[in-house]
Structure formats: structure tokens, C-alpha cells
Chains A and B, each alone.
Chain A
Amino acid sequence: MRKQLIYLTGILIIVWLSIIFGSYFIAAFLLKLAFPISGWIGTFLTNIARTVLGVAIAIIWIYGWKKLYTLYFKWNLRKLKTK
């Protein structure tokens, strides 16, 4: 029972840390991102770039999360089948 607690708590903390670091990344880089063009075109391009990067971060985060639990599951399944 202790093993499950350690591994699953680990996954939980990794997911939480990714939320926190994701927020930090958005605050430190994404919100400061700006196209060096003045006028409405610059604003438009900046917003497009921020949105695309934001969506990309979200997709990478979801993919990473899925990969993490699939790896854990498959690793344990292999161990179970060899027993």
C-alpha cells in the first residue's frame, strides 16, 4: 500500500508543479511577449502569438500528463504479467 501512495502522490505533485511552473512561464514570458511592430497589426500579432503559445503549452501539458500515467500503468502491468 505504501508503494502506491508514494508513486501516485509523486504523479499528483508533478501535475501540480507543472501547473505552477506553467503559470510562472506564462507570467514571466508569455505575458511579456510583444511583436516589435506598432499599431493594431502589432497588437493583433502579439495576441495571436500569445494565444497560439498558450494553447501549445496546454496541449503539451495534457500530453505530458497522459504520458506520465500511461507509463506508470504500463510499467506496473508488465511487472504484474511477469509475476
Chain B
Amino acid sequence: MILIFLFCFLALSFILTYFLTPFIADKMKKLNKVGVDIHKLNKPLIPEMCGLAILTSIIISSLILFFFNFLEQTKLFSFILTIAFVGLIGIIDDLKPLNPKLKPALTALASLPIILLHSYYPYPYLPFIGKVRLTILYPLLIPFGIAVPANAVNMMDIFNGVMPGTCSLISLTALIALLILGRWNEAFLPAILLGALLAFYLYNKFPAKVFSGDVGSLTVGAAIGAIAILTRIEVIMIVALMPHIMNAFYGLSSIGRLYERREIKSRPVKLLENGKLAANINGDAPITLARLILIQEPLTEKEVFKIIMFLTLISSILAILTLFLTRCVS
């Protein structure tokens, strides 16, 4: 029975996002809130901030979930508050770009509902070790648990379809992990996220008709972080998010500080005359995952998308393997 409800909530967030996205895209076009698709030769103008559809459908679906007693109310409430807070930061960032230090700090602050409502369980499961008691350290790590995935997903939202495509795989991994663990009630959260992302992917896939904007990518990243904390699958989600974390880590460590994509003068990827993408060989550009992919040879945007999806698929498989390594000791 609960499986049917699970599917219903996945379908609900899918339908909401599917119908909301073109509506928001039209509004954004009218408001002239459009961005240039820099990886295309004809430089089309694409409506920005359409990730508002993801934010709205996650919140509506979660509010409806309130009426069914599937999930602890405090957990659901802190999930909604965290997502709404991050979504608001994303909206502000889309309208007036935030300082590269302020954005992660604000996304870290968005974890406050989880900490204040005490909807976390400070005993994470680690491979080979099992349950670890981190009563003092755990709440201190929660802000990172929201800020890191939110900003890592935001930094990966560079090519058409990458953000909803990779994050759909990660949400599916969370869903499978929770079903394997028998925590079916908690599987509603990744199911809602998965539904919204699958619908958004239809519009954002190559060639993109909409852009998610920071409101979309920050919300999705924060939702993944919140799911990891609230459903106690932290290590599994870290492994599934490895391509995103690697991309953020490469960029940050090669630049040596927190940076905003817009402030980078020497972009890591350049567009060739034949429409293919190539790595920038200029030393100033940050070493991102896209630059690592393209350093071997120029590729089309679709090919880069396929490689990133493949890497996320591998990390998702490794995440499920990690779950079994964790389970064998718990």
C-alpha cells in the first residue's frame, strides 16, 4: 500500500513541475529574465529561474504529505523550511548575485531548522565501523551537510540537462537505499525530489528550453543534503555525490579560494567554431570536471553530458555498494 502512495507522491511532484515549468518560463520571458546559452554557436536566450517550479512542487508535495502520517512531522517541517530558505537564497542570488563567501554561509544557515527542531540522529553509519556516536560533532557538521551539496550542485549546473539528470540519479539512489534499508516512510522525500527532477529534465535536456537558475540548483542540492541528514544515509549520499564534490573540490583547490562562476575571467571551457567544446589551456582557468573531461579531446555538449551522467551512474552504484558495506556491520 505504501508503495502505491510513494508512486503517487512521485507522480504528484512530476505533474506539478511538468505544468509549472512552462508557465514560469513564459513569465520569465515576459520579465526579460533570460540567460545566454554560452555553449551554443547561435547563443540562444533561455528563460532563467525556472527552478522555481522544482522548489514550488517540492514544497506543495511535502505540504500534502503532512496530511498523511507517513513521516515524522518535525522531519517534514524542517525539510520544508530548509528547502524554502535555500530557495529564497537562490532567488536573491538570481536577481542580484551574492558574494562568493556569503552564498555558502547563507546556505549553511539554512540548516538551522534541522538543528533547532532536533530532527537529526547523531549516530551516522560508517562502512566497516557501523554506528558512530557523534552527539557533539554531528550538529556542528549539519551546516556543511546543507551548504556543500547545495553549492556543489550549483557549480555543476553548467551544461544542458546535467543538473536534473545527475540529481535524478542521486535521488533514485537515495530512494533505492531507503527501500533496501526498509525505511519506506522516509523514502517519500527522495521520491518527491525525483518526480520534480524528472519533469524538469524534459525541459532542461539538450537543447535546453529552460534554465534552472540558482534557485533550482541550490534547492536541489540542499534537498539532497537534507534527505541525507534526515533519513540517515549520509555516507551513501556523499559517495553518490562524488562527481559533484570532485568538481567543486577541483575548482576550489585550483583557484585556492571560494569563487563565483561569473567572476572567472578565463573560463575553463571554450566553444570552438565547429560547435564542439574544448578545454581552455590557459593556466588561470579553474580545473573543473568539464575541463578534465575535455582536456583529452574536444567533444559536443551532448557527449560531455553523457560522460558526466556515466560518472554519476558509477558513483550511484558505488553508493549502493557502500550501503552494503555499512549494513554488514550494523
Which residues on the A side are within 8 Å of B295 (C-beta)?
73, 76-77, 80
Interface flags for A49-72 (1: CB within 8 Å of B; 0: not) read: 000000000000000011001101
Selected from B126, B246, B296, the residue in CB contact (under 8 A) with A15 is: B246
Interface contact A69-B318, CB-CB below 8 Å: no
Give the one of A4, A23, A70 with max B CB within 10 A: A4
Q: Is A19 an interface residue (CB 8 A)?
A: yes
Given contacts A19-B239, A69-B287, contact A1 B299 (CB under 8 A): yes
Interface contact B318-A23, CB-CB below 8 Å: no
Interface contact B315-A5, CB-CB below 8 Å: no
Interface contact B250-A9, CB-CB below 8 Å: no
Selected from B249, B292, B325, the residue in CB contact (under 8 A) with A20 is: B325
Interface contact B296-A3, CB-CB below 8 Å: yes
Interface contact B126-A23, CB-CB below 8 Å: yes
Which residues on the A side are within 8 Å of B128 (C-beta)?
20, 23-24, 26-28
Interface contact B314-A9, CB-CB below 8 Å: yes
Interface contact B250-A69, CB-CB below 8 Å: yes
Given contacts A16-B242, A20-B322, A81-B281, contact A31 B129 (CB under 8 A): yes
Interface contact B129-A27, CB-CB below 8 Å: yes
Cβ-closest chain A residue relative to B315: A12
Give 11 A-B pairs besides A23-B128, A27-B128, A73-B292 with Cβ atoms closer than 8 angstroms. A1-B306, A8-B293, A8-B311, A13-B318, A15-B246, A16-B242, A19-B127, A24-B128, A69-B246, A73-B295, A80-B281
